[in-house]
Amino acid sequence: LTVLRRRGMLYADKNALRTQLKVNMLRIRERELSYYTNNCLAISTSAALLAGFAWYGLTEVPFDEEADAMTQTLYLVITTLIMGLELLTVVNATLCAILGPGLALRGPDGSMHTAVAGMMTHYKFTLACFTGGLICFMLSALLYGWMQFTWPLAGPMTVLLVYFLYTIIKYFIRIYRRFRLAPHAVVTGAFNADKAAAAQVETEREQREMEAWQSQFDALPESVRASMGVQSAPRGHGDSPAAAGPSSLSPTKGTAF
């Protein structure tokens, strides 16, 4: 019985340690979740501003009747692309910032990892849409100059816009390469899949051992258990020994081990 008591205590201690470790890992994942949430909110604000500019360019900008029809068509297409890409960015970023933390907070066990993985995937797509809309914004300004002004006036404007577009792309690539993490070097708060599977197997093995210990304890005469100051927790009809858990090996009131 002493061995059974000690095994039950060790089982409870290991469960408490595993629970504490899980709580600490969730805190790390929560920091990842906050990182992606804040980034989505920042991108959605800038994307909404660009989408408003695109809407103004479609509805309020006057058109020169003598302008080239091809230039006008390209301007309308590019400006519509801006509005579509930036609105898509706003929708994706807003939904991720709202639904991701909601899933992590109110979902079942494992929802935190699902929420972070989903936000990571949609964040990449959202950033790509925002970047595409920004490039289209520069091209729309270029087409507007060709459509509204004569070539002597549109020429210097074209040179400046091409220069700044090149500069934006150059700095974007430079900053991205400087801070880019290779996929194999990314560190997350998620458990390794192999370690998680091994932990699950270990948990099942411990449960089987606990069932065996409980069966041995139940096989003892009631007089022996009473003399040792140990009592069995009452179980309903059909309950398995595992359902009783280590709490069935509990001392009676006022008895110390």
Query: What pLDDT is recorded for position 5?
Result: 56
Q: Report how far residue 48's alpha carbon sits from residue 90's, in angstroms, rounded to the nearest whole number.
A: 6
**How distant, in Å, are the alpha carbons of 38, 144, 186 from that of 89?**
14, 24, 25
pTM of the model as a whole: 0.63
Cβ neighbours of 74 (radius 10 Å): 17
Residue labelled with tokens 């606990």: 210
Q: Report how far residue 21's alpha carbon sits from residue 42's, in angstroms, rounded to the nearest whole number.
A: 32
Q: Report how far residue 37's alpha carbon sits from residue 238's, in angstroms, rounded to the nearest whole number.
A: 48
Q: C-alpha 52: how far from its chain's center?
A: 29
Query: What pLDDT is recorded for position 240?
Result: 44
Question: What is the H or E stretch that residue 251 is in?
Answer: strand 250-251
Query: What pLDDT is recorded for position 78?
Result: 94
Query: What pLDDT is recorded for position 227?
Result: 62
Query: What pLDDT is recorded for position 43?
Result: 93
**Strands 230-231, 250-251: pairing kind:** antiparallel
Query: What pLDDT is recorded for position 239?
Result: 47
Query: What pLDDT is recorded for position 248?
Result: 44
DSSP count for the chain of H helices, then E strands = 7, 2
Question: Are 78 and 58 contacting, i.e. CB atoms less than 8 angstroms apart?
Answer: no
CB-hemisphere CA count at 13 Å for 39?
A: 16
Scored b (16 or more CB within 10 A) or e, 15-49 reads eeeeeeeeeeeeeebbebbeebbebbeebbebbee
Predicted confidence pLDDT, tens digits, the chain (257 residues): 555 555 566 667 777 777 777 777 778 888 888 888 999 999 999 999 999 999 998 888 887 777 788 888 899 999 999 999 999 999 999 999 999 989 888 888 778 888 888 888 898 899 999 999 999 999 999 998 888 888 888 889 899 999 999 999 999 999 988 888 777 766 666 655 445 445 555 666 777 777 776 776 677 667 656 665 555 544 444 444 444 444 444 444 444 33
Question: Are 48 and 90 contacting, i.e. CB atoms less than 8 angstroms apart?
Answer: yes
- What is the torsional sign of CA 230, 233, 238, 241? negative
Q: Report how far residue 242's alpha carbon sits from residue 94's, in angstroms, rounded to the nearest whole number.
A: 45
